[in-house]
Amino acid sequence: MGNDIEQTARQRIIALLTDFEMSARELSQAIGIKEKEVVRHLVHVEKTVSPQKKKLVIRPFQCLDCEYLFKERKRYTRPGRCPRCRGTHVETPTFRII
């Protein structure tokens, strides 16, 4: 039964990201699951849409202090601090399926 709930959440994430660019927090609020769960689902969402010739596009994390972009970051979790200025004010990424 747990897999049905997860599959449904993933399908809802895919539907939302096909229509809108959203952050993990916005997805969490729209679907009614924890933000950490959304992040866990995004890994699978990326794999699910790939065979459909679609792509999960990520606007990367950005440091709000020095504007450093975390372009090379592959993980969906929030970085602890900026490698350039060591600041901890990091803007969350947004996701979109195209």
pLDDT in tens, 46-98: 999 999 999 999 999 999 999 999 998 888 888 999 999 999 999 989 999 99
The CA-based angle 25-1-30, given to 5 degrees, is 20
Tell me the C-alpha distance between 48 and 53, whole Å.
10
The model's pLDDT over 3-41, given as tens digits with 9 standing for 90+, comes to 555 568 999 999 999 999 999 999 999 999 999 999 999
pTM recorded for the entire structure:
0.83
Q: Which amino acid is at 27?
A: L
> Which residues, including other chains, have CB under 8 Å from residue 5's CB and lie 6 or more apart?
none
Task: State how far the Cα of 37 lies from the Cα of 83, in Å rounded to an integer.
Answer: 26
> Which backbone phi and psi does 90 adopt, to 5 degrees?
-120, 125
Kindly state the DSSP code that residue 94 receives in the 8-state scheme. E
Domains of the chain: 2-97 (1.10.10)
